[in-house]
């Protein structure tokens, strides 16, 4: 997949996509540094895996965390916290200046398919589902937070090679195929397929400064 070996800084490594992501990255021979609130939740044992105990809400030594990494990826989501606060946005606004100081350029942020791209409207059916299913599920706060992150990246981080994956994830089933990037098409994907997509997206130069969806090639 990616020939050159890299170090990945991962936020959200104990999440349903994150677990698959770090497994894949380690399997490919790369190194992973992960900030985790509960290291005991990480069942993987690998000499290339460095677990740093902490939370994005109160972690102080971000400079040391970012130092020496090649890619930064965020797959964070906490519906309870994000219901009232833009916790991801607050953290990203702390993270990006540190990336600049440490000379780290590439950043991937996983949002949701119902998160609106900067100054764009969602398709009609997306709006309907967002204001019904998503609202009743208590996930509107997550999308509000994601949209604030996207706005910040577009307006304040033009020098960073950021990319946003607006994923539509449905289950932890086995792989259903290969996900491709699209501005209009999307598929309900498995966590493992989203993890693989994120891994490959990080080295896709054409994805820099995009907020695209993903869909299965055979659909």
pLDDT digits (tens, 9 = 90+) for 91-122: 999 999 999 999 999 999 999 888 999 999 88
| Number of residues that make up the chain | 219
Structure tokens at 12: 């959200």
How many other C-beta atoms are found inside a 10 Å radius of the C-beta of residue 167? 26
pLDDT digits (tens, 9 = 90+) for 20-32: 999 999 999 999 9
Indicate the pLDDT class of residue 130, thresholds 50, 70 and 90. Answer: confident
Domain ranges of the chain: 7-216
CATH topology of domain 7-216: Rossmann fold (3.40.50)
pLDDT digits (tens, 9 = 90+) for 185-202: 999 999 999 999 999 999
H or E element, residue 171:
strand 169-171
H or E element, residue 12:
none
Model confidence at 133: pLDDT above 80 = no
Structure tokens at 27: 């399997």
Confirm if 57 and 87 have CB atoms less than 8 A apart: yes
Q: What is the pLDDT of residue 103?
A: 97
Indicate the pLDDT class of residue 1, thresholds 50, 70 and 90. Answer: low
CA–CA distance, 86 with 20 (Å, rounded to integer): 26
pLDDT digits (tens, 9 = 90+) for 137-163: 777 888 899 999 999 999 999 999 999
């Amino acid at each position: 997949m990616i020939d050159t070996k890299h170090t990945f800084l991962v936020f959200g490594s104990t999440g349903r996509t994150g677990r698959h992501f770090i497994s894949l990255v380690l399997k490919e021979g790369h190194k992973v540094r992960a900030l985790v609130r509960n290291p005991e939740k990480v069942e993987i044992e690998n000499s290339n895996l460095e677990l740093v105990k902490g939370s994005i809400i109160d972690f102080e030594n971000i400079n040391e965390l970012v130092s020496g990494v090649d890619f930064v990826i965020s797959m964070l989501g906490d519906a309870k916290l994000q219901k009232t606060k833009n916790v991801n946005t607050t953290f990203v606004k702390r993270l990006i200046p540190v990336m600049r100081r440490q000379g780290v350029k590439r950043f991937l942020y996983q949002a949701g398919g119902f998160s609106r791209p900067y100054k764009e409207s969602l398709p009609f059916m997306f709006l309907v589902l967002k204001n019904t299913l998503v609202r009743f599920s208590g996930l509107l706060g997550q999308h509000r937070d994601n949209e604030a992150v996207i706005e910040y990246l577009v307006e304040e981080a033009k020098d960073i090679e950021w990319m946003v994956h607006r994923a539509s994830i449905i289950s932890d089933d086995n792989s259903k195929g290969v996900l491709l990037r699209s501005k209009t098409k999307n598929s309900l994907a498995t966590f493992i397929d989203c993890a693989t997509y994120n891994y490959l997206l990080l080295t896709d130069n054409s994805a820099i400064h995009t907020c695209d969806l993903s869909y299965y090639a055979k659909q």
